[in-house]
Amino acid sequence: MAQLGQFALALAFVVTMYSIVASIIGIRAKHDKLIASGRNAAVGTFACLTTAFLCLVYLFVVSDFSINYVAGHSNRDLPLYFKISAIWGGQEGSLLLWGWFLTGYAALVMIQNWRKHTAMMPYVTAVLMGSSLFFTSMHLFIANPFNQVVTMGPGGARVPLVPADGQGLNPLLQYILNAIHPPVMYLGLVGFAVPFAFAMAAMLSRQLGDTWIRTTRRWTMVAWFFLGTAILLGGKWAYVELGWGGFWGWDPVENASLMPWLIGTAFLHSVMVQEKKGMLKVWNMVLIIMTYTMCLFGTFLTRSGVVSSVHAFAQSSIGGYFAAFIVISLSGSLYLLLDRLPLLKSENQMESIVSRESSFMFNNLILLASCFAVFWGVMFPVFSEWIKGVKITVGPPFFNRVNVPIAIFLMFLTGVGPLLAWRKASTNSLKRNFLWPAAVALAAGIGLFIRGIGRPILKAPEELGQALFQKLVGYSFTSSFYALLAIMMSIFVAVTIVREFYKGARARSHGTGENFIEAVANLTLQNTRRYGGYIVHFGFVLLFIGWAGQAFTTDVATEAGIGDTLSIRQYTLRVDKLGVEDTPNYQSMKASISLFEDGVKVATMGPERRRYKAGEQQTTTEVSIWSTLKEDVYVVFSGATADGKRANIQVYYNPLVMWVWLGGIVLGIGTLIALLPNKKSSPRKRQQTADQTEEQKDVAEKVS
């Protein structure tokens, strides 16, 4: 089976080369058959990589430890689902998964669009296969998952070896959400290759209208959806598996996935201006180039070991190859953009600073600034070491201090932007749209402030420097005050969204006689893009509130024996039992803890500490979480005394965490709705609309 996989990889490499060459020569010679052959070859590459991937699945399922990659990332006692997820537990397999997805996307794009965009598609083939060539050569020459385990025999000869058992999968990856997190992440990162390829194809074929944007709108949203979902899954994994009580730690690997998502979000908004107004054409090109580059850069960061991270499970020496690929891809696309600049003229002009077009520009600015802040924070230690030779750390305090104000302003724009009119918003419409949301947010803010949230406002430094700047940066808002601002902004945005639904549904139910719920559903389904977008924004509101709750996290740690209790806020925890469990995969120490809320028992919790038997016998902690809408009680079994009679228990009180996951779900639902085609209005409604149009014509005639 390994030979078949090896052969499939080699064939994929050759077929990819052929696809690129056939497409380019076909375009130049205007040879339709050659172009079609290039397309078929692209689909063929997918078939080859599918074969290779299935071979690897088989090798993992049967635990063929003669294969180096299988022996390094699996073991006999691993449950079947983790044997399969172990395929992407290391470098070679995750790269193969990436390459496979890329060719899968390419094949789907070919099938979907070949007849619709005949002039552009050969270029799309060439660009997608160009990316694919990089990955197939990596699979074949640099990170081949089918290499055998060898040892040095007599005379220095390399002799095949079959170990009795494998090294096992990193225990931190033995968590179901993390088993699906990497594929979802790759579906997102790879997905941006499609709009990128169409953008390049538009420039190469000089078809610079909005065809490429309309064609790839759904692709972009799908990629964005997967990337966002993967980030949240990663957060959930960190929360449940790493045991430090939080879901986002500004780790370089987390940042690596956030950067393309931030620019991708900017792109997703900015393309609307091009679609509606024919503006920002150059800007959209810049954004998609940056998004794709950031997708590659993120992968480079994760795998190169340039920065250290708690999540980097697949580090190796392939960073250099990725860096070269990024440089080639970025310089090629920027050269093309400069060359086609005269063809990318705007069709319309901006009329007012207070308009939806300009709000999109500011949205882009804020998202880019946020991305830059993250990039700068991630790379600054590297710059510092290069320039000054000094090792420094840029950790969570930096990212929080820089990004939190930016995020709060972004939330403000989320509320304002969608309600501004295209071209120019009048003062009256501003008042009409924003007076109530602002009043409600302010009232809520004052109410919370009176209850103590947001106080103290400022945090003074212990020692102030003499320079004015040091005085300025010395003071900072407290996290509690930032949380108050974040909650106020969230309420502001929520009210604007609810009002939009209410106004639309009320007008609709007056016009059609539908009841309110029907009117909301039909309103949404007949303009999925707009109302799906609002739902996505609402998801963000929930997420933002959940995130603001982190400012009020508290924790206690204690050594406790059976019968001992500890308290945190309104909760009391009592240790009932301490025990040991033995499974084929791991041994664990467990505590059984009763959780009381205001004296009433609400749950039995069972935090564990595990020692995995395979490989290096790693130990992990399995936290136990009691989750409500208001707060999470998060219990960690962090160790035990030598006699096993007392356990070290750490308890976190984390407010509003569930809102983050709920926000993620709402965000996903909103995206799926926005992906749906608009439902056609009912015949009755159509007739009404037609009648109205006739009447409008009459009025227009009378007036003129």
Partner 1 sequence: MLKKCRKAALLLLLATAPLSLAADRERVKEVASSLMCICGCNQVLGVCNHINCPTSGGMMTEVEKEIDSGKSDKAVLDHFVGKFGLSVLSAPPASGFNLTAWLMPFAALLAGAIAAVYFLRRFRARWVETAPTTPVDTAKYQRQIEEELQKYTPED
Q: At closest approach, how far in Å is the CB of 10 from partner 1?
A: 39
Identify the H or E element spanning 602. strand 600-605
Interaction between residue 607 and partner 1 (CB under 8 A): no
Beta-ladder partners of 158:
152
Asked if 606 is part of the footprint of partner 1 (rule: CB under 8 A), the reply reads no
Main-chain dihedrals φ then ψ at residue 424, nearest 5 degrees: -160, 130
Contact between 642 and partner 1 per CB under 8 A? no
Strand (E) positions, 169-236? none
Minimum separation from the CB atom of position 461 to partner 1 (A)? 8
- Those residues whose C-beta lies under 8 Å from the C-beta of residue 277, and which sit 6 or more positions away, are 347, 348, 357, 422
Residue 618 CB, nearest distance to partner 1 (Å)? 9
Note whether 391 binds partner 1 by CB under 8 A.
yes
> Could you tell me the smallest distance in angstroms from the CB atom of residue 26 to partner 1?
40
**Which residue, 236 or 508, has its beta carbon nearer to partner 1?**
508
Smallest gap from residue 411 Cβ to partner 1 (A): 16
For the residues of 567-618, what is the DSSP string, one character each?
Answer: EETTEEEEEEEEEEEE-SSEEEEEEEEEEEETTEEEEEE--EEEEE-STT--
DSSP state of 618: -
User: Which one among 150, 443, 450, 473 touches partner 1, defined by CB under 8 A?
Assistant: 473
Please report whether residue 504 would count as binding partner 1 according to CB under 8 A.
Answer: no
Nearer of residues 401 and 613 to partner 1, judged by Cβ: 401
List the interface residues with partner 1, window 110-169 (CB under 8 A): none
What residues between 234 and 293 interact with partner 1 by CB under 8 A?
A: 242-246, 249, 251-252
Is 315 in contact with 303 (CB distance < 8 Å)? yes
Helix residue ranges, H only, 30-79:
32-61, 68-73
Q: Does 646 bind partner 1 (CB under 8 A)?
A: no
Residue 515 engages partner 1 in binding (rule: CB under 8 A):
no
DSSP state letter for 78: S
Residue 507 binds partner 1, judged by CB under 8 A: yes
CA atoms lying within 13 Å on the CB side of residue 363: 27
Interior/surface letters 359-391, b for 16+ CB within 10 angstroms, e for the rest: bbbbbbebbbbbbebbbebbbebeeeeeeeeee
Q: Does 511 bind partner 1 (CB under 8 A)?
A: yes
Query: Closer to partner 1 at the Cβ: 104 or 606?
Result: 606
**Which contiguous run of DSSP H or E holds residue 405?**
helix 396-416
Q: Which listed range, 130-138, 173-181, 384-392, 679-687, lies at the site for partner 1 (CB under 8 A)?
A: 384-392
Query: Given the rule CB under 8 A, which of 81-89, 222-230, 446-454, 468-476 is the region that contacts partner 1?
Result: 468-476
Minimum distance from CB of 314 to partner 1 (Å)? 16
- Range in contact with partner 1 (rule: CB under 8 A) among 176-184, 320-328, 440-448, 460-468: 460-468
Distance CA 494, CA 501 (A): 11
Find all residues with CB under 8 Å of 447, minimum gap 6, and list them. none
Residue number with CB closer to partner 1 (650 or 671): 650
Are the C-beta atoms of 354 and 425 separated by less than 8 Å? Answer: yes
For the four alpha carbons of 240, 246, 247 and 248, in that order, the dihedral sign comes to negative
**Shortest distance (Å) from residue 403 CB to partner 1:** 8
Eight-state DSSP code of residue 307: S
Q: At its nearest, how many Å lie between partner 1 and the CB of residue 377?
A: 7
Please list every residue from 299 through 328 that binds partner 1, using CB under 8 A. Answer: 308-310
- Packing angle of the helix pair 281-304, 319-339 (nearest 10 deg): 170
Site string for partner 1, 341-370 (x = CB under 8 A): -----x--xxxxx----x--xx--xx-xx-
Q: Give the SS3 label for residue 479.
A: helix
For the record, the structure tokens of 619 come out as 């130990």
Applying CB under 8 A, which residues contact partner 1?
Answer: 242-246, 249, 251-252, 308-310, 346, 349-353, 358, 361-362, 365-366, 368-369, 372-373, 376-377, 380-381, 384, 387-388, 390-398, 401-402, 406, 462-463, 465, 469-470, 473, 507, 510-511, 609, 619-621, 636, 638-639, 650, 692, 695-696, 699-700, 703
